[in-house]
Structures are given as structure tokens and as C-alpha cells.
């Protein structure tokens, strides 16, 4: 393939920041670069999607990452979420990766703000939309590193740049297919397998809280993948420190989500018992 999609009628009113070349020129440059470097764009139509979805600055940032050799392949789209798109990619050494790009335009700031505001790591100054999304991306990167350092099975974060996060690809590297979410994978679970994974996830919540000092805050069967043997916790942008004013509420919500989902496999533990076990009775009250 080797070509990004054409962009003949893409109209762009805005410049692209410090480099200040129009989008058409940028894409042309991108095309030449792709040819020169022999970058494989697995699916030109997918890249066309990128051109339509992302703003010029994001395309430019991607271009620079390809140019610097930090990304060597951009493959098909894996997911289009509320705030971000995820693509198959490869890092500079050809290691399979997931490329998560937060959309600056369509992101839902009202709900995101709540998770950022109470976090002493990121709450410094009022930010523009763009700065906010950059900080969010950095927060997801930092959270993934913290979680993994604590021993949680989550994607290894490779790097972030502006609103772009590159991390380990969790899936079949040959086909570029991501592992299924728990909600799909669980259809094949036996009761005892379900029960085992249930307890492992509760143990992860405890590890996250006590070793990584994090509450996931969006834990559910949607944000857990399953590789056929083990579960993998993903999507950590909203995870907060225990000091966050919403931390208790988020933790209880996470517990309830997990208990609801796993009640089909086993008698779930009491919400409050789990909470006390995770937090310790002195530390916080539900
Ligand atoms: N590291 C990864 N490896 C493989 N697939 C991934 C990886 N990260 C994400 N995905 C795929 O992309 C989907 C969406 O990812 P994620 O949950 O992180 O973002 P999201 O829910 O779209 O985020 P948001 O709702 O904040 O926009 C996942 O369900 C999974 O299918
Ligand atoms: Mg998600």
C-alpha cells in the first residue's frame, strides 16, 4: 500500500502551529515520507478516517513521530470511543503497539474534568481544551506506568506525545486483532473460571489502591481484556489517587460494577466487605 489517503478536497482554515503549512501540504509531505521510509499503512481507507477525524496539529504530531522513527507502522482502526480512537501500530523497532489518540475537538470535557480537578499531579492551572487533553494523555501514561510497576497486568506504556499515547498491543500480533473485552470473552467462561477471574480482579483493585495508589474509576467488563488465560486492565486515563475527593465514590462504583458482572458466575462478596478489605477500616469510610 504505502500511501496515505488523498485529501484533494480537504479544506483547512487553520495553520498547523509552528510549522504553519497547510493540511494539503502536510499530507503531501506525509505521503512522500511514507514512500521514502517504506512505512506500511495497512489500510489507506483507515488513514483517510484519520484525516477526517483528527485536527491538523494531531496529524502533524503523528507525522513527526513517523519521521523521527518512533512509529514505524500504522495499521487498522481497533476502536472509536467517546474520547479517543485506537489503532494498531508498531513502534520504531517494529514492536506491536496500540496507538491511542485523544480527539481534541470532540472530547467530553465536562465529565473528564471531574477526574482531573482533584488530582494534585495535574490540577495546577486552568487549561485550554488542548492543554487539558495533553495533560489527560500524560495522566493515562503515568497511570499505566504506576499500575504496571505495582504488578498489575496492564499494557506497557511506551511513550506519549501531546494527545498521542503509544502502548503495548494486547492482541494477536499477526492479524492486528485486539483481545476481546471481558464482556465478550466471558460468554465462554465456566462458573469456576469466572469465579477465579472475579477474585483476581478484586485482588487487582486492592493492589492498585495500596501499591499504585490508584482507583481505576471506570472499571467494568468494557475496560478489561482477556487474552485466553489472564485478564488485562486497560483505559486508565480517568484513574485517580486516593486523595481525590471522588475516590471513595469511584471505588464503590468500580466494586459494584464488578460484583454486578460476576454475579452470573458466583455469589459475589459484599460490596462493603470488599471496600473495607481494599482500603482498610481506619483509612476511609464508604
Ligand atoms: N493496549 C491495547 N491493545 C489492544 N487493544 C487495545 C489496547 N488499548 C485499547 N484497546 C482497544 O481499544 C478499545 C478502547 O480502548 P480504551 O478503553 O482504552 O479507550 P476508550 O474506551 O475508547 O476510551 P474513551 O471512552 O475514554 O474514549 C478497547 O476496548 C480495546 O478493544
Ligand atoms: Mg474504554
CATH homologous superfamily for the domain 180-279: Transferase(Phosphotransferase) domain 1 (1.10.510.10)
Residue 121's nearest CA partner among 208, 207, 213, 206 is: 213
Residue 235 bears catalytic tag = yes
Q: What pLDDT digit, counting tens, does each position of 199-253 carry?
A: 999 999 999 999 999 999 999 999 999 999 999 999 999 999 999 999 999 999 9
Average pLDDT, the chain: 85
Take atom 19 of ligand 1 and give the residue whose Cα is closest.
235
Bridge partner residues of 77 (DSSP):
87
Are 17-172 and 180-279 the same fold in CATH? no
Find the DSSP H helices in 89-190: 109-117, 129-149, 182-185
Is 234 close to ligand 1, i.e. is its CB under 6 Å away? yes
Q: Which atom of ligand 1 is nearest to the CA of 170?
A: 3
Number of Cβ within a 10 Å radius of residue 189: 18
Number of Cβ within a 10 Å radius of residue 275: 20
What is the Cα Rg of the chain in Å? Answer: 20
Q: What pLDDT digit, counting tens, does each position of 5-46 carry?
A: 333 333 333 333 344 456 666 667 666 666 665 555 555 555
> Among all chains, which residue has been given the C-alpha cell 481506619?
282
Q: Between vectors from CA 234 to CA 130 and to CA 119, what angle results, nearest 5°?
A: 50
How is the beta sheet containing 84-91 ordered, strand by strand?
40-41, 71-80, 84-91, 96-102, 164-168, 157-161
User: 174 phi and psi, to 5 degrees?
Assistant: -65, -45
Is 107 close to ligand 1, i.e. is its CB under 6 Å away? no
The answer to whether residue 183 scores a pLDDT higher than 80 is yes
Note the ligand closest to the C-alpha atom of 220: 2
Take atom 20 of ligand 1 and give the residue whose Cα is closest.
81
Is 155 close to ligand 1, i.e. is its CB under 6 Å away? yes
> Among all chains, which residue has been given the C-alpha cell 460484583?
259
Q: Which of 18, 235, 254, 271 is catalytic?
A: 235
Fold annotation for 17-172: Phosphorylase Kinase; domain 1 (3.30.200)
Residue 45 bears catalytic tag = no
Number of Cβ within a 10 Å radius of residue 191: 10
Indicate yes or no: pTM above 0.85.
Answer: yes
Find the DSSP H helices in 223-279: 247-262, 271-279
Q: From ligand 2's centre to the CA of 223, what distance in Å?
A: 5
Beta strands, E only, the chain: 40-41, 71-80, 84-91, 96-102, 157-161, 164-168, 171-172, 177-178, 224-226, 231-233
> Among all chains, which residue has been given the C-alpha cell 495535574?
122
The full set of domain ranges for the chain reads 17-172, 180-279
For residue 203 the three cell numbers come to 485482588
Amino acid at each position: 500500500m504505502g500511501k496515505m489517503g488523498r485529501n484533494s478536497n480537504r479544506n483547512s482554515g487553520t495553520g498547523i502551529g509552528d510549522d504553519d503549512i497547510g493540511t494539503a501540504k502536510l499530507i503531501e509531505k506525509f505521503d512522500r515520507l511514507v514512500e521514502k521510509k517504506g512505512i506500511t499503512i495497512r489500510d489507506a481507507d483507515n488513514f483517510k478516517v484519520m484525516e477526517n477525524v483528527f485536527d491538523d496539529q494531531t496529524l502533524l504530531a503523528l507525522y513527526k513521530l513517523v519521521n523521527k522513527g518512533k512509529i514505524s507502522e500504522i495499521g487498522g482502526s481497533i476502536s472509536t470511543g467517546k474520547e479517543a480512537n485506537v489503532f494498531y501500530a508498531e513502534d520504531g523497532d517494529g514492536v506491536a503497539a496500540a496507538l491511542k489518540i485523544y480527539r481534541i475537538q470532540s472530547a467530553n470535557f465536562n465529565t473528564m474534568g471531574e477526574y482531573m480537578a482533584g488530582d494534585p499531579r495535574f490540577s495546577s492551572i486552568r487549561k485550554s481544551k488542548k492543554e487539558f487533553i495533553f495533560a489527560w494523555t500524560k495522566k493515562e501514561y503515568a497511570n499505566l506506568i504506576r499500575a504496571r510497576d505495582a504488578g498489575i497486568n496492564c499494557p506497557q506504556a511506551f511513550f506519549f506525545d501531546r494527545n498521542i499515547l503509544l502502548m503495548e498491543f494486547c492482541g494477536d500480533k499477526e492479524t492486528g486483532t485486539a483481545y476481546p473485552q471481558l464482556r465478550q470473552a466471558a460468554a465462554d467462561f465456566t462458573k469456576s473460571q469466572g469465579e477465579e477471574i472475579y477474585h483476581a480482579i478484586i485482588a487487582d483493585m486492592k493492589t492498585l489502591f495500596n501499591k499504585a495508589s490508584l482507583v481505576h474509576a471506570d472499571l467494568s467488563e468494557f475496560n478489561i481484556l482477556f487474552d485466553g488465560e489472564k485478564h488485562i486492565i486497560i483505559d486508565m486515563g480517568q484513574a485517580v489517587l486516593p486523595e481525590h475527593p471522588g475516590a471513595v465514590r469511584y471505588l464503590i462504583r468500580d466494586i459494584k460494577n464488578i460484583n454486578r458482572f460476576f454475579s452470573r458466575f458466583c455469589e459475589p462478596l459484599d460490596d462493603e466487605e470488599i471496600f473495607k478489605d481494599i482500603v482498610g477500616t481506619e483509612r476511609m469510610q464508604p
